[in-house]
Amino acid sequence: MALREIITLGDERLRKRSEKIEKITPELQALIDDMVETMHESAGVGLAAVQIGELLNLIIVELPEDEEEPHSGERYIVINPEITKASAEVEAGIEGCLSIPGYVGEVERASSILVRGMDRRGKRFRLRAEGYLARVFQHEIDHTQGTLYIDRLTAPERIWPVTEGEEEEVEARQQIPADATPSLAGEQVHEN
């Protein structure tokens, strides 16, 4: 396993569509292990392969253990993930992204989704996700399409600077930082 560098806003690979994975190979297993290690090191709740510069359709989602959060502590490794159903009902919530350090923004996501894909052995599966878990899946699957959360802000000014490294914590609390200066931050982030 190896720690990998996370690419950030401005790197054009973040805007590309990831390629479908056709074969389960030892290289793919190594990539998955690197992603897990890199995500844990960054205290992230999800990571897409493109974020470490690999344009392959692969995501990891893992919410930190929390008694009140269903499915927290479970690690989902999904090859070629696809949302097959999304609820009409949406929820606004706060998101951060390891590829956009120093900011969080407000995004509406479907409250509940059905995802299908393959596990790391190539076995097909489906899962239903709700609430925060559904949000993280939608965010990561967006990455595989070259979409970032800043494309989906509820309004251009609904983005706030946070101390770098605290994005995930703010996201987990779902609280807008009190000392935020919205419009300036919005312009900076949209520079890519």
Catalytic positions: 140
37-189-92-68 Cα dihedral, nearest 10 degrees: 30
CB of 112 to Ni ion, least distance (A): 20
Q: In this chain, which stretch among 82-90, 97-105, 120-128, 182-190 interacts with Ni ion, using CB under 5 A?
A: 97-105
Give me the sheet containing 159-161, strands edge to edge: 90-95, 103-110, 159-161
Residues in the chain: 192
CB of 72 to Ni ion, least distance (A): 18
Regarding 97 and contact with Ni ion (CB under 5 A), the answer is: yes
- H-type helices in the chain, by residue range? 26-41, 131-144, 167-173, 182-189
Regarding 141 and contact with Ni ion (CB under 5 A), the answer is: no
Regarding 107 and contact with Ni ion (CB under 5 A), the answer is: no
Regarding 45 and contact with Ni ion (CB under 5 A), the answer is: no
Please say which residue, 97 or 189, places its beta carbon nearer to Ni ion. 97
Which residue shows structure tokens 């393959």? 118
Residues that bind Ni ion (CB under 5 A): 97
